Every structure is written in C-alpha cells, then in structure tokens.
Amino acid sequence: MSIKSISNYLSLIKFSHTVFALPFAMIGYFLAVKITGNFFDIQKLILILFCMIFARSSAMAFNRYIDKEFDKRNPRTALREIPAGIISSNAALFFVIVSSLLFIMVTYFINTICLYLSPVALGVILGYSFTKRFTALCHIILGIGLSLAPIGAYLAVTGKFDWLPLYFSFAVLFWVSGFDIIYSLQDELFDKTNNLFSIPAWLGIKRALLLSKFFHALTALFLIYAGIAAPFGIIYWIGLMLFISLLIYQHTLVKPNDLSRINLAFATTNGIASIVFATFVIVDLFIQK
C-alpha cells in the first residue's frame, strides 16, 4: 500500500480525532495501575492502544460506508473519500471487517472479560451509524461508544468493574454528546430535508446549544465527583479547572447566528482539553504515595 493510500484511509477514519477518547483510555489504564498496585505493563498498554485504534477505525469507516449516499448529497461532505471515489465502498467495508476482527483478536491477548465484551463494544460503536435514521438521541449513542474507553482500559488491567472509572465514562458520555451536538449544527437543514434525526433538527439551533451546555455541565459534575471519590490531589483539580475552562471557551465560539468557528470549537478545543486533562490526571496519580 502506498503512502498516498495510507493517507486516504487515515483521512477516511479521521485518525486525528482519536485524540478525543484516547487520553481518557490512558486515564482508565493508569487509574487501574494505581488502584491495584500493579507494575506498569508496557505490553498491556500497547494492547489497549491497538484496541482503541482498531475499534475507532472500524466505527469511523463503517459510518462513512453507511452514510455514503447522504454524504454524496451533502455539499459539506461530498468530497469525503467514498462519495468522491477516492476509496471504493467495498474497500471501506473490507477495512471495517478487518479492523473489527483485529480488535477482537487484540482483546483475546488482554483478558477473558475484554474478549467476551468485545462484540458488545463493537455493537455499540458500529450500531451508532444507524441511529441518525430513527432517533435524535444519536449524539448520546456516540457518547456511549466513546465512553467505553476509560472503563475498557480499566477492565484490561483489573478484569473487573469499579465505580471510579465509570464516573470518567459518564463524563465522556456527556462531553462527547455535547460537542457532537455542536458539530451537527452545520447539518440542521440537511437533516430536516433528508428525514435524518439530530438534536439541532429536532430542537433548533438555540435550544440545541442550550442542551449542549447542560451536557457539558454534567461532564464537569461527574469529573468533580470523581475527584472527590478518589480522592485526587491538587494537580487533578488544576487539570479539571483547565478542562472546564476549555469547555466554556468552546461555547463562546459558537453562536446561533454564527457557526463559522464550529471546527475550532469541535476539533481543536476538545482535542486540547482531553490531552491537557489526561496529562494532569496521570501526573497526579504518579506523584501520589
């Protein structure tokens, strides 16, 4: 495969957007290492990274495959790889199948519970692609899919569920749901005219933005509760304040009558927020005795 082909597939799956959930997977991993007192296991960490990459690759490629006809009709998405003919539908579907099988295979080398739950995880992240056809709650389904990152990484280390990583998972759920609502504002009219469901198409732009703010307030509350439940030290709280500040900042970028800075709010701000927060959390975990 040529460098150009690899670049096309990376563009197909928006590989750069892995930065949203991956830092929270790292939080789940290091949280588990700290709580259990296990030694840092580089092999387990690499396996978790591969799980994240394969799961997200299959989900994004499947979304592009399923939505190819809508993408072709939407001026905003008409130049995506499948409608533009850069990658064929069959090639994209093959990519989905291979990525899904690789994801399951990697979970086999992690532990039994991750292997058993791998089809469930795939069901959620692949099933999301259908939800816009019948429910405006599609943003929440996407949030659930990405929220599997911290609890999945925690399970990879411990092999059992716990409440603490679930608080981070709930935070991711509402964080992702909130910023996905902002991103979908661009397609409000297209969704309405093509019988697709979304919060903006259902509630309108103003009320959709209010709901997004409410979801992000819930994100902050879950992360505050996680900080109290752990408990974390001062570095965690500094990181959380920076994260919340960036959440607030992204809402200043998007107005009901001005959607020109959605990409800055969606990709850049949220990407920075997740990396900064995860860095502070992991540092806090390392310096604790």
Closest of 135, 159, 164 to residue 228, by C-alpha: 164
CATH number at residue 230: 1.10.357.140
Domains of the chain: total: 1
Report the C-alpha gap between 169 and 155 in whole angstroms: 12
Residue percentage of the chain with pLDDT more than 90: 81
Total residue length of the chain: 289
User: Has residue 217 got a pLDDT over 80?
Assistant: yes
Q: Is the distance from CB of 45 to CB of 169 less than 8 angstroms? A: no
Closest of 244, 282, 11, 23 to residue 146, by C-alpha: 23
If you ran DSSP here, which 8-state letter would residue 40 be given? P
pLDDT band at 9 (very low <50, low <70, confident <90, very high): confident
User: Has residue 20 got a pLDDT over 90?
Assistant: no
Q: Is the distance from CB of 73 to CB of 56 less than 8 angstroms? A: no
Mean pLDDT of 89-118: 96
Report the C-alpha gap between 150 and 167 in whole angstroms: 9
Find how far residue 104's CA is from the centre of its chain: 19
Q: Is the distance from CB of 262 to CB of 183 less than 8 angstroms? A: yes
**pLDDT averaged over the chain?**
93
pLDDT band at 12 (very low <50, low <70, confident <90, very high): confident
Q: Is the distance from CB of 161 to CB of 155 less than 8 angstroms? A: yes
The H-or-E segment that residue 184 falls in is: helix 163-184
Closest of 251, 248, 257, 242 to residue 204, by C-alpha: 257
Q: Is the distance from CB of 31 to CB of 154 less than 8 angstroms? A: yes
Mean pLDDT of 229-237: 91
Range of the domain at 9: 3-287
User: Has residue 152 got a pLDDT over 90?
Assistant: yes
**pLDDT value of position 129:** 96
Mean pLDDT of 121-143: 96
267 burial type by CB count under 10 A (0-12 exposed, 13-18 middle, 19+ buried): middle
**pLDDT value of position 283:** 95
